[in-house]
Amino acid sequence: MIEVLITVLVIAILIISIIIHELAHGFVSYFLGDPTPKEAGRLTLNPIKHIDPLGSIFLPLLLVISNIGIIFGWAKPVPIDPRNYKNVRTGWILTAIAGPTSNFIIFGSMFLILYLFNLGEVAKLIIWYAMAINLVLGTFNLIPVPPLDGFWLIFNILPDIIRNKILLLLESSYGVVINIAGAFFAILIAKYTVLPIIVSLQSLL
């Protein structure tokens, strides 16, 4: 019974965290002059607008059950149109970095709460999972492979001729395969880099 409750807790925290991640993308894009996120109805906390059944529920549940040691997921990507930014490169970079930044802000806030306050065991467990999940999400999304945010950060500092060739490749029939391969590669990187940090954070419990 305890394991079931922890699984529900972990998935609930993950869903909230990835919704905030996508909201950060949307609000920054909107603030920079792009009405697309608002027109798509994505500047809302309503989870129904954001949840992706595969990335928000099925995959996290599978990762928890398989006890792989790391959990992550995704929501429906917030649609943006970088052509609406006054400076396309700068706007795209700021929008891309907004998601991971929101996760690191949550991680830092939870760390301070856990460090500064004398909490009960249940509260400590909830705070710790919020810390761990947001550290994984923030770090994972900065890995510079498609389709992650880190890729778009690197993409937007490349010369136009290279950027155009990459866009053509991603928009081709190979795009889906590249994104899937990139995601699996990022999982491997995260498992051997972020997981040891998460393990060390258990000393805070």
Tens-digit pLDDT profile for residues 171-189: 898 888 888 888 888 878 8
pLDDT mean over 132-156: 92
pLDDT confidence of residue 156: 94
CA-wise closest residue to 190 among 148, 127, 161: 148
pLDDT in tens, 92-140: 999 999 999 999 999 999 999 988 888 888 889 889 989 989 998 999 8
pLDDT tens sequence across 89-98? 999 999 999 9
Catalytic residue among 22, 39, 121, 171: 22
Q: How far apart are CA 50 and CA 21, in angstroms?
A: 10
- Per-residue pLDDT at 118: 86
Contact between 50 and 42 (Cβ < 8 Å): yes
pLDDT value for 69: 63
Is 171 assigned a catalytic role? no
Q: Give the tens place of pLDDT for each residue, 39-59.
A: 999 999 898 899 888 778 887
Query: Which residues are CB-contacts of 51 (< 8 A; sequence separation ≥ 6)?
Result: 15, 19, 57, 75, 76
What is the average pLDDT score of the chain? Answer: 88
Over the stretch 23-44, which tens digit does the pLDDT of each residue have? Answer: 999 999 999 999 999 999 999 9
CB distance 40 to 12 below 8 Å: no
Extents of the domains making up the chain: 2-204
What pLDDT, on the 0 to 100 scale, is given for residue 204?
Answer: 64
pLDDT tens-digit profile of 60-72? 778 777 776 667 7
